């Protein structure tokens, strides 16, 4: 039996050596667990199990599964093989080996902007786990990366080389308290690392470049661009544009007051439809306080093009924004013309009326029918393909209209997205300036 265990141990060592030669970037959690299961079932003593874990080089390969979880899986495997007598010994061996990780005394200094470490740090942190970037043979870490290594215990401390800095080395708490490390950014960075991603600070908008699982900064593929923010900090429209315009998926990582994470994707949606109808011109209407009333209007105006709301069999009521658009198209005539309608709209809504009118015009031009979104807390709900109101489907979008330079509150974004999802619609933000910009936000789990 000893020979069998020795043979299996030798195969395990050769397997790990092969992985090192190929520079595998994946943590060996599954492989380690699998090897441990085979070795435990093949061995008949706690000594064999301990030797197995030693040959697996726990510390160097750095599996992501905590020792307790690995121990439990090995224990389950042993119980299934009816060798429960080895459970305690195996668990003790795993814990002992985890505690006997190699020394972590690696020289690293913080100069106020970045943390610099030597070649050993580059080999351990960049080559195997994607931290930092190599520069002239050494490793340059962003402070957020160094903070995470300190939090994990992979670095014990960082020397303070700032002008006027103290002599005492910096630990996790000391580095987190500096102005260059934000706790909000740290929580987002840590959460993504915990999810199995390698990521690097972008240096732009204080965001992160997140690589697909199994890949890192040495690869060209990017999975996400993430902007971390607090639920109490407004997000500018420019930041949302930055997230929406990249080749990778743009994600807003919001940290709430209990340090829980909500991820929202941002992109530019295609807003278009097929609702185009030729309507009669010169339809007379009467301007009331904040709407327009039509008497005996053409049937197609509502039945086909979905303008207004019928009032009995004889009247059709138009909103101010609908009436103004139809007046611009020559379909509607009222006393005082379009200018009077615009004046009334601004008196009722202020500058908001002009923005909503521009968005309404853009939607109708794109073949999309906008109707009031008041019941959903939005400016409009929209229908892309309307042939007849008797065969009307569900609205696809909820549209909120904001100024082009609007600052978004993360709480409002979360509320809008949750509401839209609850009624099976997509939330879209319209930012009119010159042309109308469209931005869509939805929840995502990286």
CATH of the domain at 285: 3.40.1170.20
Question: In the listed set 99, 127, 159, which residue is the last one of a domain according to the structure?
Answer: 99
Both 120 and 37 in a single domain? no
Both 79 and 115 in a single domain? no
pLDDT at 231: 97
What separation, in Å, do the N-terminal and C-terminal C-alpha atoms of the chain show? Answer: 46
Q: Is residue 145 part of a domain?
A: yes
Question: How far apart (Å, rounded) are the C-alpha atoms in residues 321 and 342?
Answer: 9
Asked whether the beta carbons of 225 and 201 are under 8 A apart, the reply is no
Q: Is residue 269 part of a domain?
A: no
Our CA dihedral for 107, 22, 145, 255, rounded to 10 degrees, sits at: -160
Question: In the listed set 350, 368, 388, which residue is the last one of a domain according to the structure?
Answer: 350
Residue 358's φ and ψ, nearest 5 degrees, are -65, -40
Catalytic residue among 148, 302, 402, 425: 425
Both 75 and 41 in a single domain? yes
pLDDT at 268: 96
Both 10 and 95 in a single domain? yes
Both 73 and 128 in a single domain? no
Query: 361 to each of 270, 364, 422, 432, how far by Cα in Å?
Result: 16, 5, 28, 11
Catalytic residue among 263, 383, 402, 429: 383
Sign of the Cα pseudo-torsion (315, 320, 326, 330, in order)? positive
Question: How far apart (Å, rounded) are the C-alpha atoms in residues 85 and 398?
Answer: 62
Residue 394's φ and ψ, nearest 5 degrees, are -85, 150
Q: Is residue 312 part of a domain?
A: yes
Question: How far apart (Å, rounded) are the C-alpha atoms in residues 145 and 202?
Answer: 12
Place of tokens 């942190």: 125
Both 119 and 95 in a single domain? no
pLDDT at 393: 87
Q: How many CB atoms lie within 10 A of CB 210?
A: 26
Both 150 and 88 in a single domain? no
Instruction: Give bridge partners of residue 419 from the DSSP assignment.
Output: none
Question: In the listed set 149, 181, 213, which residue is the last one of a domain according to the structure?
Answer: 181
Question: How far apart (Å, rounded) are the C-alpha atoms in residues 95 and 70?
Answer: 10
Both 79 and 123 in a single domain? no
Question: How far apart (Å, rounded) are the C-alpha atoms in residues 119 and 109?
Answer: 14
Q: Is residue 227 part of a domain?
A: no
Both 82 and 6 in a single domain? yes
pLDDT at 410: 97
Asked whether the beta carbons of 366 and 359 are under 8 A apart, the reply is no
Both 90 and 125 in a single domain? no
Q: Is residue 121 part of a domain?
A: yes
Question: How far apart (Å, rounded) are the C-alpha atoms in residues 212 and 195?
Answer: 11
Both 84 and 116 in a single domain? no
Both 7 and 93 in a single domain? yes
**Which residues span the domain enclosing 84?**
2-99
All residues at 6 or more sequence positions from 102 whose CB lies less than 8 Å from its CB, including other chains: 59, 60
Q: Is residue 344 part of a domain?
A: yes
Q: Is residue 366 part of a domain?
A: no
All residues at 6 or more sequence positions from 118 whose CB lies less than 8 Å from its CB, including other chains: 106, 107, 138, 139
- 425 catalytic per annotation: yes
Place of tokens 């106020």: 112
Question: How far apart (Å, rounded) are the C-alpha atoms in residues 36 and 42?
Answer: 10
3-state class of 300 per DSSP?
Answer: helix
pLDDT at 89: 42
Asked whether the beta carbons of 223 and 197 are under 8 A apart, the reply is yes
Question: How far apart (Å, rounded) are the C-alpha atoms in residues 41 and 101?
Answer: 25
Asked whether the beta carbons of 252 and 442 are under 8 A apart, the reply is no
Place of tokens 């972590």: 104
What domain count does the chain have? 3
Catalytic residue among 394, 402, 406, 429: 394
Element (H, E) at 133: strand 133-135
All residues at 6 or more sequence positions from 307 whose CB lies less than 8 Å from its CB, including other chains: 301, 316, 318, 322, 326
pLDDT at 105: 64
pLDDT at 42: 42
Half-sphere exposure of 80 (CA within 13 A, CB side): 10
Low-confidence ranges of the chain (pLDDT < 70): 1-105, 204
Q: Is residue 415 part of a domain?
A: no
By CB neighbour count within 10 A (0-12 exposed, 13-18 middle, 19+ buried), where does 351 fall? exposed
């Amino acid at each position: 039996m000893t020979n069998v265990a020795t043979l299996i141990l030798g195969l395990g060592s050769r397997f790990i050596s092969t992985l090192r030669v190929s520079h595998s970037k994946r943590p060996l959690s599954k492989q380690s667990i699998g090897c441990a299961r085979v070795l435990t079932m093949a061995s008949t003593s706690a000594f064999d199990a301990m030797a197995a874990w030693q040959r697996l080089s726990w510390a160097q390969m750095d599996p992501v599964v905590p020792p307790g979880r690995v121990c439990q899986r090995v224990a389950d495997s042993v119980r299934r093989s009816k060798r429960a007598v080895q459970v305690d010994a195996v668990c003790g061996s795993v814990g002992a080996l985890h505690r006997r990780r190699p020394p972590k005394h690696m020289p690293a200094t913080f100069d106020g902007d970045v943390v610099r470490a030597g070649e050993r740090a580059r080999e351990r942190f960049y080559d195997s786990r994607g931290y930092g970037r190599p520069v002239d043979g050494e490793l340059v870490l962003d402070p957020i990366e160094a903070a995470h290594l300190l939090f994990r215990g992979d670095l014990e401390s960082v020397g303070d080389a700032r002008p006027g800095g103290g002599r005492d080395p910096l630990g996790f708490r000391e580095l987190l308290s500096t102005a260059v490390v934000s706790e909000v950014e740290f929580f987002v960075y840590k959460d993504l690392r915990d999810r199995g991603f390698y990521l690097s600070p972008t240096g732009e908008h204080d965001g992160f470049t997140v690589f697909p699982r199994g890949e890192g900064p040495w690869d060209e593929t990017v999975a996400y661009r993430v902007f971390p923010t607090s639920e109490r900090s407004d997000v500018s429209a420019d930041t949302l544009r930055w997230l929406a315009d990249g080749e990778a998926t743009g994600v807003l990582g919001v940290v709430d007051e209990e340090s829980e994470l909500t991820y929202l994707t941002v992109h530019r949606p295609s807003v278009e439809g097929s609702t185009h109808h030729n309507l009669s011109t010169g339809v007379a209407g009467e301007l009331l306080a904040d709407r327009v009333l039509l008497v005996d209007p053409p049937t197609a105006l509502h039945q086909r093009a979905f303008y207004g709301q019928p009032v009995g069999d004889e009247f059709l009521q138009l909103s101010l924004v609908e009436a103004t658009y139809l007046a611009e198209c020559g379909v509607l005539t009222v006393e005082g013309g379009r200018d009077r309608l615009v004046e009334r709209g601004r008196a009722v809504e202020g500058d908001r009326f002009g923005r909503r009118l521009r968005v309404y015009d853009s939607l109708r031009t794109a073949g999309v029918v906008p109707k009031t979104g008041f019941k959903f807390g939005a400016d409009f709900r929209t229908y892309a393909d309307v042939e007849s109101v008797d065969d009307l489907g569900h609205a696809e979008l909820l549209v909120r209209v904001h100024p082009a330079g609007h600052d978004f509150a993360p709480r409002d974004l979360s509320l809008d997205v949750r509401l839209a999802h609850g009624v099976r619609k997509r939330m879209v933000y319209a930012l009119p300036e010159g042309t109308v910009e469209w931005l869509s936000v939805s929840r995502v789990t990286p």
